[in-house]
Amino acid sequence: MMAIVNRADYSPKLIFDLREHYWLMICHLCQLNQLILGWPLWEQFRLVKSHPSPSGSIFGLAEYLASLALFLVVMTISDFRYQYRLSLAKTDLRKVGFWFGLGVGAAILATDFWYENEFFIPKLISNPNNLKATLGLVFLTFVFRAIYVAVIRPPVFSKRNAKQFFEINYHLIHQGNPDRLQVLAEELRRSMGTIVAYAAKVKHVKDENARENIPQHQAYAHDFLLLIGDQRFCKVVVDKVPAFAFVCFQEAQKYQLIHLPIFQFARNVGQEFIRNTNSSFYQEDSGYYSGLVGYARPATKIIFGSYEFIEKCAGDGESPIDTDYREFGEFNEKQMEGYSRASLAFLDGCLAVTRGRYYPHSYALARMLGSFESSISGVYQIDGKEHYLKMPEYGHLKVTVDFINHAITLVEKHAVRPKTLRISDPLHADIYDDLANLIFKTIDAASSVSSPVWTSWAIQYNAVWGSIFGFRDNSTCKIIKLKVRRLLYGKIKEMDKFANFQGAHILGYCLNVLGLKLTDRHKGFQKEFYPLQAAALSWTKANYKKLLADHPKVAKACLQGTVSYDAEHHRLVKTYSNATEKEPVREFFELD
């Protein structure tokens, strides 16, 4: 309920005080108004007649057009690197520069027109040089802003420019211009740490719909790692900017337990380092010749030396030491030597971690050994050739044997002794089994070279047997010799079941290399192979006649090098070359 106030409630004194208060307020407002109106600055806004400056123009239309033309020429014909940097800026400086330049030019033209016609203008800007100086400062600020972005502080990948950054690089990489790709590789080095860090936050999802919940900058970073897997880009990186590959590998190796879509880039870069004999990887073979790079070996250690990273790439798809079967067989000897060095760097890291045990299974190791097996598949083409030293097949064989020797040294250094000396099944094969199997495959390849006599001996003994089992006599070599011996004997024993050319070649190899006369099992050179020699001779003595009658072609395959069959006396004859005597030295082996 509202209270009713009577006028009688106001006393005359109260009414007088209110009137006096209001009057004082009005007086103060009037004084403030007079103070504002009397402000000297208002004088500067008074309209006066404009006049051109008698001292000349500071930044006239002619000067502006000249500077604009020079700036445009510099921006359009300058190095692609600076154009690329400007295109990555969050603010499109090219569009801004167009409207900015148009506005400044129009303002200068309007200023000259206004002052030349002496139109009225506020006194504050009655001097045209002041206005033109301001326009010149604005134009100069924009020019140096563009220079700052293009030269001083180039843009890098960030949340703000992720989409623009990806789209521009996608277009340029897809275009495939080698000179521009080189610039991209040099410029992207600064951003790879951020890109890999953002990509590592993306969870591995198979459903495309789930990508909608991924932050945009992380999704673009994830796709960017796929983008740099372009083969043309990887080729330019290896040839011109190897440091970019080093940065990518080092950043990716920080996230060993996180799925990163980088195996395509790692595979292509690794293969290109091996394929390109002019790459920095081939300058690291010796510090004596290459100096600091040869001692530091950055490509060898970073690209091929990380077992965990290479194994992760192999599990995802392919690794830097995986080979392309379509061209691996065409590698020359130098490329094969490069692949061997890369493989040994990986094997060193692998053995240091796994100690040579069969578990966990290494996809990269299995494929690497498989590559060496496939590289010697063409050795049979040496058969019948007298001049073979320059044949690529011979080069592949030499490199494979050299890899085996270095691998045995690494096994002796890192691997633990196996629990059993028997041949393990493929699921439980350790590094000893792997090397023994590779040696067996190498011997099998060499056994296909049966003529001429000297070629057969040079391949079977000098290049393979003597190089692998020469004067090495450590515990690792003894274990591997035992496993190789059992593999060879097992293949010979298969001929009890059915005659086959592989078994015949292996038998012929053993007869040619070990000889027909039993060595001393207790002393002498290669006494470890006495059981194999005895078993081979025993099988030949008991079965050759039947093999000759039933399978003459297989029986003929058992005769290699200087071993021949004397049908008249039913015996095998091994002839040794002797240039000083009338008759060569011969060994005879009587057959049942």
DSSP result, 284-322? -S-HHHHTHHHHH-HHHHHHHS-HHHHHHHHHHS--TT-
Within-domain flag for 478 = yes
Within-domain flag for 363 = yes
Check whether the bond before 452 is cis (ω within 30° of 0).
yes
Within-domain flag for 425 = yes
pLDDT averaged over every residue in the chain? 84
Residue 349 corresponds to which tokens in the numbers above?
A: 């890291």
Length of the chain: 592
User: Which CA distances in Å does 135 have to 128, 131, 538?
Assistant: 11, 6, 104
pTM of the predicted protein model:
0.81
Angstrom distance (rounded) from CA 503 to CA 491:
5
Angstrom distance (rounded) from CA 20 to CA 77:
78
How confident is the model over 39-79, as pLDDT tens digits? 565 555 555 555 555 555 566 666 666 666 656 665 665 67
What pLDDT, on a 0 to 100 scale, did the predictor assign at position 574?
A: 86
- Quick check: 187 pLDDT over 90? yes
Reduced to 3 states, what is the DSSP secondary structure of residue 49? strand
Q: Looking at 105, 138, 155, which one is the last position of a domain?
A: 155
Within-domain flag for 5 = no
Q: Give the count of domains, the chain.
A: 2
Q: What are phi and psi of 422, to 5 degrees?
A: -75, 165
DSSP, res 204: -
pLDDT tier for residue 1 given thresholds of 50, 70 and 90: very low
How confident is the model over 363-422, as pLDDT tens digits? 999 999 999 999 999 999 999 899 999 999 999 999 999 999 999 999 999 999 988 888
Within-domain flag for 495 = yes
In angstroms, the first-to-last Cα distance of the chain is: 139
Q: In sequence order, what are the beta bridge partners of 565? A: 572
The residue whose two tokens read 């800007």 is 125
Within-domain flag for 221 = no
What pLDDT, on a 0 to 100 scale, did the predictor assign at position 50?
A: 52
Within-domain flag for 307 = no
What pLDDT, on a 0 to 100 scale, did the predictor assign at position 4?
A: 45
DSSP, res 120: E
Angstrom distance (rounded) from CA 93 to CA 87:
8
Residue 585 corresponds to which tokens in the numbers above?
A: 């030295």
Angstrom distance (rounded) from CA 525 to CA 443:
19
Residues spanned by the domain of 448: 323-557
Angstrom distance (rounded) from CA 506 to CA 502:
6
What pLDDT, on a 0 to 100 scale, did the predictor assign at position 78?
A: 62
Least Cα distance to 342 among 386, 301, 293 occurs for 301
Looking at per-residue pLDDT, the higher value among 29 and 544 belongs to 544
Give the pLDDT mean for 500-514. Answer: 91
Angstrom distance (rounded) from CA 470 to CA 478:
12
Q: Looking at this protein, which amino acid is placed at residue 59?
A: F
What pLDDT, on a 0 to 100 scale, did the predictor assign at position 486?
A: 92
Within-domain flag for 568 = no
- Quick check: 358 pLDDT over 60? yes
The residue whose two tokens read 């510099």 is 74
Q: Looking at 118, 140, 155, which one is the last position of a domain?
A: 155
What pLDDT, on a 0 to 100 scale, did the predictor assign at position 474?
A: 81
Residue 587 corresponds to which tokens in the numbers above?
A: 């060994």
